[in-house]
Structure 1
């Protein structure tokens, strides 16, 4: 009997040992199947939303952990991505500006065969396609122009404001004058180099024609020194409008003292009627909103002929792209990154993140959620009416800094138009 009991105890012990070993191996297997990926975020205003989306993504994909790495303030996504590659530790997913994608095309995956390609809106991948291969995921359509506070402008015009009425430079100045007469400041200009150099002045390039091929040739001619900007009507018309902005700017006594942070505050509180900026600013405006969410966009006019291209169009384009590293990240990490892209386009949580949480205008036809953000709604309306002008999303990486600095000097009265024009043309001659 003792022998039998001993054998039973031994058998039970063996079962326990095998069970513990099996559990250990199972734990090892689970650990080994965990895939960790990173996303370099160059859209700082949605950092917290991306982090929340990463958690929601993990709920649907328990084996994948996504870490969101912010690009430091003041550093371009190109600079940060280049530094990570130089250190041998690139992010799995990198958020780039459109013009930077080509510089990384040999280091990132060809995404031409992905499911979402069939649902991408027209022309959303054309600028990231080289040799018939698309290398980037179109993350966000953004647009910019004059953002108006409807409550302020309604009061100024003495009734319901019609944004379609602002279709010439003269009409814009009349609106500024009415806002001023109502006791409010007409306008605030945030004079950061990126706003003036990457957004405002490029309207002079894009406004040359509704035909992208003509615009592309114009830029080619700028590089070759074949363009005389001093006699270019679109360029001069845009600067005429810029002069008006300086005249009616709330900070005209100290033009370069303005900050980005002050813009949404004074617009949202109704202290000014108009702010030159883009739809990415809504989260900041909404925190100060006193107009019940009633805001919209006005185009930036370049002449007094309402029929001229640009006077009734809003600048918009896919501004941010996601690329997937193929050099240092494993096949498992690449597959996990592709799952993230599909999750945003096709899952309910992913679509909610894009439209409702990040206030992004998606570049995919299958996403039919209606934006709650009034600025996204306004741009979507312009798009639906065919009233858009392609933003210049493939400018040289240093354009906004160098040309922005020249624009700041002009805005502050430290340079005249001839000097600004010369500096712009000299800059383009240095671009290879």
Structure 2
């Protein structure tokens, strides 16, 4: 989910093309030369809003093209600092949308009149439970569920084991006090406890939404709570879950390695400090594994522990990890030709059913698949940890349908709180005002 988280991470500005040279026919196809007779090359493109897998997607496009010589696939990177919804809207406004667009779950409905109904695709029957619920409107599914993602506190096991004097068990952290005691132990061992990544998408799309999802196990009740916020009938000042979560955030701020300059950190810095063992804990999602792995030179052992929201161990949310199907791929029907649409469908089927496509998804991109037929185990410790929480029934559904501007606007309010340029009363006021402005 990067953003969450998921949520989530912006790719480099450059849009990289993986194409073969040919002569254009002006209809999305090109002649490929006399060796293939009348065969035509079909050019398709994909907007990637999951920047940490840009390179892996480019390699997948090359492999897919080897298997399908008449189809060339261009992987376009979403510009840094732009939400998938904003980029997709800009591309449609320019009259030049890509064939496929990778969006956050909540954005799919906004484009449903411009995208293809995918209900007839075989993979619908092979998705995990509820994978297409949030992209189905009027009985038609419009989104391909690309990834299951989860987030919470990632811990470096070698660092935490040393701090606790044995093998660390994440289930022992059941309250905010337990968390602070762990932070104290880590610092007593000579390491810094944690790092807070200050990006608005991390704070606004991942951390704060725990206060919404934690209101009730029943998502219908959570949705009612959100509706009450929109109507100005629900407040956060006296809300137990919100205040409990922010009490935990206060503890995080106290032990943040960057507390002297809390807004200067970058996403990459978090992965570096955790991977090198300079901090024991980092709030982030399983999408961060490639960054952590690139700096890890020790055990490679990492896992998740939930974010506690109270000092009552039995409260819902204290022992659950946040997870959901996050990124979705949609297919344009407004500008793409029928041939391009069929080629795009072929690529999606290649991901689900071809061994090379599955290898890209699980082993190369470190993605937890949203399809039952893909039985490859998670390739990294973070994916395995998320899968273990889900298998134990210890998962809390992520807030996948928040408004497109939530992470930017409310994330900015969280940044002010992190910087201590706003107190909790101001934060409450700004969050409540945001929700009342949502139509």
TM-score by length of 2: 0.91
Deviations 1:85-129 (A, max 9, x none): 112111111000111100100000111111000000111110001
Distance in 1 separating the partners of 2:343 and 2:235: 50
User: Does structure 1 residue 56 correspond to structure 2 residue 25?
Assistant: no
- Kept in 1, the 8 Å contact 2:32–2:41? The answer is no
- Kept in 1, the 8 Å contact 2:47–2:102? The answer is yes
2:323 is aligned to 316
Equivalent residue for 1:365, pick from 346, 361, 372: 372
Distance change in 2, residues 1:174/1:30 (3 Å)? farther
- Kept in 1, the 8 Å contact 2:32–2:39? The answer is no
User: Does structure 1 residue 90 correspond to structure 2 residue 97?
Assistant: yes
2:355 is aligned to 348
1:142 is aligned to 149
- Kept in 2, the 8 Å contact 1:149–1:291? The answer is no
Q: How many residues align?
A: 409
**Runs of 5+ in structure 2 lacking a partner?**
1-30
1:426 is aligned to 433
Equivalent residue for 1:191, pick from 190, 198, 217: 198
- Kept in 1, the 8 Å contact 2:200–2:412? The answer is yes
User: Does structure 1 residue 280 correspond to structure 2 residue 287?
Assistant: yes
How far apart are residue 31 of structure 1 and its match?
5.9
- Within a 5 Å distance, the mapping from 1:92-241 to structure 2 comes to 92-241=99-248
- Within a 5 Å distance, the mapping from 1:367-406 to structure 2 comes to 367-406=374-413
1:267 is paired with a residue of what secondary structure?
helix
User: Does structure 1 residue 46 correspond to structure 2 residue 56?
Assistant: no
Distance in 2 separating the partners of 1:423 and 1:200: 16
Distance change in 2, residues 1:31/1:75 (3 Å)? farther
1:261 is aligned to 268
- Kept in 2, the 8 Å contact 1:186–1:274? The answer is yes
- Kept in 2, the 8 Å contact 1:109–1:325? The answer is yes
- Kept in 1, the 8 Å contact 2:145–2:329? The answer is yes
Equivalent residue for 1:81, pick from 88, 107, 117: 88
Deviations 1:328-368 (A, max 9, x none): 11111101110111100001000000000000000000100
1:183 is paired with a residue of what secondary structure?
coil
2:253 is aligned to 246
Which is helix-richer, 1 or 2? 1
How far apart are residue 25 of structure 1 and its match?
11
How far apart are residue 32 of structure 1 and its match?
5.1
2:358 is paired with a residue of what secondary structure?
helix
- Kept in 1, the 8 Å contact 2:146–2:369? The answer is yes
Greater CA drift, 242-251 or 286-295: 286-295
How far apart are residue 291 of structure 1 and its match?
3.5
Distance in 1 separating the partners of 2:306 and 2:185: 18
TM-score by length of 1: 0.93
1:143 is paired with a residue of what secondary structure?
strand
Deviations 1:37-60 (A, max 9, x none): 111111111111001101111121
Distance in 2 separating the partners of 1:151 and 1:198: 29
- Kept in 1, the 8 Å contact 2:127–2:370? The answer is yes
- Kept in 2, the 8 Å contact 1:344–1:354? The answer is yes
How far apart are residue 27 of structure 1 and its match?
2.3
- Kept in 1, the 8 Å contact 2:39–2:70? The answer is no
Please tell me the root mean square deviation across aligned C-alpha atoms, in Å: 1.4
**Runs of 5+ in structure 1 lacking a partner?**
1-23
- Kept in 2, the 8 Å contact 1:189–1:249? The answer is yes
- Kept in 2, the 8 Å contact 1:197–1:404? The answer is yes
How far apart are residue 30 of structure 1 and its match?
4.2
How far apart are residue 33 of structure 1 and its match?
2.1
Distance in 2 separating the partners of 1:413 and 1:85: 39
4+ runs deviating over 3 angstroms:
28-32
